[in-house]
């Protein structure tokens, strides 16, 4: 497997692959890879000839009070995992490489970034869309694979691809879960063995909503909050939202296109999850 650390080298390799008629798949990550990431690499491998996995902890999507410095990193382990999953290239730039001193340009999607995570974390999605736009320009993929766990992010990036006419096929892969249902996340490592069982509260609440025959979202919201606090009494719920699958606009009644998204802090570890309800 090839490791590339500079933009110029990555662009050169991408141009050469395209000249050879090879299709390129891209899996953007922030590293500390788990089985969820590896499933995205395997999915990209099915859809392209050469898979590039980027590892970059993007500083522009973290607010000053968030966990940028504490975000887990394991470059050596990540490289081994990428190779084992069938990845072909690991693109690992530094922050200075991606954002030189005179960097001034940002990419921003308007409407879809105003709710859910965008409302709680102002500026977060501008950082996401900017870095992914840069990765698209550097790697020039034919296919890009993202996970459903970061559902709003996937829809925002899909909007960016459509609006800016990127010739890229977007694949949104299903959320990979632990045996008890907890969505796989790099942040799960923060839990102690005593705390970890309570992290399943998000999944249990989503399953409750999915299995409910209630159509009114306010009633389901109340049931979900009770379920979360029953499992983890100290949990802090940022939001529970019911939105249209494509537009992300809020809905009042459950339909086949309704997605429930939630963000909950469990022992100060902020988790997100979502599920299509029908």
The verdict on whether 37 is a catalytic residue reads: yes
Residue 171 DSSP code:
E
| Backbone phi, psi, residue 84, to 5° | -65, -30
| Backbone phi, psi, residue 196, to 5° | -55, -40
Counting other chains too, the contacts that 195-199 makes at CB distance below 8 Å and 24 or more residues apart are: 195/266, 195/267, 198/231, 198/232, 198/235, 198/266, 198/267, 199/232, 199/266, 199/269, 199/271
Write the CB contacts of 192 (distance below 8 Å, at least 6 apart in sequence): 267
Q: How many CA atoms lie within 13 A of 134 on its CB side?
A: 24
Pairing of strands 258-266, 236-244: antiparallel
Which of 37, 106, 124, 230 is an active site residue? 37
Tell me which residues are annotated as active site.
Answer: 37
């Amino acid at each position: 497997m090839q490791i590339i650390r500079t933009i110029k080298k990555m662009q050169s390799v991408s141009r050469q692959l395209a000249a050879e008629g090879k299709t390129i798949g891209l899996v953007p990550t922030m590293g500390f890879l788990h089985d969820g990431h590896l499933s995205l690499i395997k999915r990209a491998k099915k859809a392209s000839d050469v898979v590039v996995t980027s590892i970059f902890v993007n500083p522009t999507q973290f607010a000053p009070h968030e966990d940028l410095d504490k975000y887990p990193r394991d470059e050596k382990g990540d490289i081994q995992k990428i190779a084992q999953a069938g990845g072909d290239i690991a693109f690992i730039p530094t922050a200075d490489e991606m954002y030189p001193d005179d960097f001034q340009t940002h990419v921003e999607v308007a409407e879809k970034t105003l709710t859910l995570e965008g409302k709680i974390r102002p500026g977060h999605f501008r950082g996401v869309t900017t870095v992914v736009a840069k990765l698209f320009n550097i790697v020039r993929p034919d296919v890009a694979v993202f996970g459903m766990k970061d559902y709003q992010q996937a829809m925002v990036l899909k909007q960016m691809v459509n609006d800016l006419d990127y010739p890229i096929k977007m694949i949104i892969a299903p959320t990979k879960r632990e045996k008890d249902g907890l969505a796989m996340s790099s942040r799960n490592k923060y839990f102690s063995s005593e705390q970890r069982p309570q992290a399943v509260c998000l999944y249990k609440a989503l399953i409750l909503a999915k299995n409910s025959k209630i159509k009114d979202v306010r009633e389901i919201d109340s049931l979900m909050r009770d379920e979360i606090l029953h499992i983890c009494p100290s949990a802090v719920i940022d939001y529970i939202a019911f939105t249209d699958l494509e537009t992300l606009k809020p809905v009042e009644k459950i339909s086949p296109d309704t997605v429930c998204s939630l963000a909950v802090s469990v022992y100060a570890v902020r988790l997100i999850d979502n599920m299509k309800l029908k």
